[in-house]
């Protein structure tokens, strides 16, 4: 059940996502720069490690794969351990290197003022992301462009949700920097609810919608009437002499 190659791929991928994504925020790259840092990292690692682990690098994505039956729950546990460990290691390295990493935290204007709305936005954006993953990578409809479709979805999600919630869409992405920097995480329960349950809710809804679409696609074909079997010509009887 434990696969060391999958574990390492998820650890490295999540480490890279947090180190580059949070690092861009710390460096003051701006909204567009931060969005591209996250999206391009996901796209690149989708091609680098997709054949090894699927490149979830996101506990909400792994949760969706388990709910969908694409991944066993026992396997999902090791994915989560690798993802959170990678996120924490990346945040620790950033903390060691630059000190203050609050600029890499996933927080926005709604995090404390409107936590319920913040959770709704995180759920919605995660729905978009997981929806893309299911329909392109899992269903095999994206072909060679699946990685770029997923990365682009993350980019546009951050462009819209970044100012509002920080557009985490990823519990590990939030948790790693939160240990060392993110404000309010130590004194309020709301951020934990927003950035953990929001993505999980969005991921679950994406699986439900995905299964609905795939059932709709299969149903007409299943109900189509089969053409009547051609009657075999009656065997000719040979008269006996």
Evaluate if residue 237 carries a pLDDT over 60.
no
Mean pLDDT of 85-104: 96
Mean pLDDT of 108-120: 94
What pLDDT digit, counting tens, does each position of 153-193 carry?
A: 999 999 999 999 999 999 999 999 998 875 556 567 778 88
Q: Which of 89, 116, 101, 139 is nearest to 189 (CA)?
A: 116
Q: Are 196 and 115 in contact (CB under 8 A)?
A: no
Evaluate if residue 240 carries a pLDDT over 80.
no
Lowest mean pLDDT among 8-17, 29-38, 99-108: 99-108
Lowest mean pLDDT among 65-69, 195-199, 219-223: 219-223
0.85 surpassed by pTM: yes
User: What is the predicted pLDDT for the residue at 184?
Assistant: 54
Q: How confident is the model at residue 239 (pLDDT cuts 50, 70, 90)?
A: very low
User: What is the predicted pLDDT for the residue at 191?
Assistant: 82
Q: Are 153 and 162 in contact (CB under 8 A)?
A: no
Evaluate if residue 232 carries a pLDDT over 70.
no
Evaluate if residue 229 carries a pLDDT over 80.
no
Three-state helix/strand/coil letters over 81-142: HHHHHHHHHHHHHHHHHHCCCHHHCCCCCHHHHCHHHHHHHHHHHHHHHHHHHHHHHHCCCC
User: What is the predicted pLDDT for the residue at 189?
Assistant: 75
User: What is the predicted pLDDT for the residue at 215?
Assistant: 84
All structural domains of the chain = 4-212 (1.20.1080.10)
Q: Are 54 and 65 in contact (CB under 8 A)?
A: yes
Give the residue, 178 or 217, on which the prediction is more confident. Answer: 178
């Amino acid at each position: 059940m434990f696969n060391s190659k999958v574990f390492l791929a998820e650890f490295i991928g999540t480490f890279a996502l947090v180190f580059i994504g949070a690092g861009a925020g710390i460096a003051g790259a701006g909204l567009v720069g931060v969005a591209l840092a996250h999206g391009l990292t996901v796209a690149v690692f989708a091609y680098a490690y997709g054949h090894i682990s699927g490149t979830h690098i996101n506990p909400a994505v792994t949760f969706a794969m388990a709910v969908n039956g694409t991944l066993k729950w026992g396997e999902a546990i090791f994915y989560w351990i690798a993802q959170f460990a990678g996120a924490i290691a990346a945040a620790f390295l950033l903390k060691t290197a630059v000190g203050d990493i609050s600029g890499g935290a996933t927080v926005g204007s709604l995090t404390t003022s409107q936590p319920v709305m913040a959770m709704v936005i995180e759920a919605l954006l995660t729905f978009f992301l997981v929806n893309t993953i299911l329909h392109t990578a899992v269903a095999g409809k994206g072909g060679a462009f699946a990685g770029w479709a997923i990365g682009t979805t993350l980019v546009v999600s951050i462009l819209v949700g970044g100012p509002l919630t920080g557009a985490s869409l990823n519990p590990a992405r939030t948790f790693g920097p939160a240990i060392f920097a993110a404000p309010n995480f130590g004194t309020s329960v709301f951020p934990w609810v927003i950035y953990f349950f929001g993505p999980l809710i969005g991921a679950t809804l994406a699986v439900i919608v995905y299964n609905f679409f795939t059932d709709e696609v299969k149903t007409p074909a299943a109900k189509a009437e089969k053409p009547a079997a051609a009657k075999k010509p009656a065997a000719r009887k040979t008269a006996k002499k």
